[in-house]
């Protein structure tokens, strides 16, 4: 089966594994299962996955450590599963590079909606932008190839990070509300998850700003949203 339908599910609860496996296979996904972090890393090294669904609380090696290790070499989308009320785990997982999270208990509809949204965000290049390249002094963005350089050095961005950058960079100076950015980048399923934006804007600042604590480009409008402040940009529109 094609790897773009292959999902790795990691959880130490057999009931959760069985529940997710049955519902994904009913929708033509190929599913591999792991019951702890070490099993997950072994499967990850030997296969190509379209997506990983990863529980946080597990024996042997927890999901946060698995996420950290995977992000050292891959941008494969990761959805983490957290216990109800474990807000710190959610933020930590996003900071480590997770793309999304689900809070246990969850239903089939919520699970499938998040999987579809994450896979959709992984295909930003499917819609060609109106601008081929944009330069913001030391930052250069190639929208066609989804590549970014800072001071001539290639910067590795996840699909969601690039999607957020592209949305802001193609609309310089335009203030996006939190809700508008969530809908544009994460999808119509998202409205109130403002923590996603705080984490991802922070990641873009750390990767692309000279001084992330005093950002020049990724500007916060307190209580409203974000915009990209860019002077002297150079654009080359698609022919």
Instruction: Determine the average pLDDT of the residues in 11-19.
Output: 95
Task: Grade residue 168 by pLDDT with cuts at 50, 70 and 90.
Answer: very high
Indicate the pLDDT class of residue 71, thresholds 50, 70 and 90: very high
pLDDT higher than threshold 90 for residue 130: no
What is the predicted pLDDT for the residue at 29? 94
Higher-pLDDT residue of 2 and 199 is 199
Neighbours of 168 (CB within 10 A): 25
60: pLDDT strictly greater than 70: yes
pLDDT for the residue numbered 239: 36
Query: What mean pLDDT do residues 49-54 have?
Result: 96
At 127, the pLDDT band (50, 70, 90 cuts) reads: low
Sorted by where each starts, the structural domains of the chain and their CATH numbers stand as: 3-122 (3.40.50.2300), 126-237 (1.10.10.10)
């Amino acid at each position: 089966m094609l790897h773009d339908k292959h999902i790795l599910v990691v959880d130490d609860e057999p009931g959760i594994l069985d529940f997710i496996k049955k519902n994904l296979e009913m929708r033509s996904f190929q599913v591999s299962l792991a019951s702890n972090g070490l099993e997950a890393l072994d499967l990850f090294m030997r296969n190509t996955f379209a997506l990983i669904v990863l529980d946080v609380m597990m024996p042997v090696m927890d999901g946060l450590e698995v996420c950290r290790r995977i992000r050292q070499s891959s941008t494969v989308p990761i959805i983490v599963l957290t216990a109800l009320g474990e807000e710190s785990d959610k933020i930590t997982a996003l900071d480590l590079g997770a793309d999304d999270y689900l809070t246990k208990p969850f239903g089939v509809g919520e699970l499938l909606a998040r999987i579809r949204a994450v896979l959709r965000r992984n295909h930003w290049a499917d819609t060609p932008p109106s601008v081929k390249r944009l330069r913001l002094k030391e930052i250069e963005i190639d929208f066609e190839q989804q590549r970014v350089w800072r001071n001539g050095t290639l910067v590795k961005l996840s699909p969601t990070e690039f999607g957020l950058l592209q949305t802001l960079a193609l609309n310089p100076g335009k203030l996006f509300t939190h809700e508008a950015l969530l809908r544009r980048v994460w999808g119509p399923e998202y409205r109130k998850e403002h923590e996603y934006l705080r984490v991802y804007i922070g990641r873009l600042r750390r990767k692309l700003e000279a001084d992330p604590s005093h950002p020049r480009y990724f500007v916060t409008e307190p209580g409203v949203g974000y915009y990209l402040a860019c002077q002297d940009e150079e654009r080359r529109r698609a022919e």
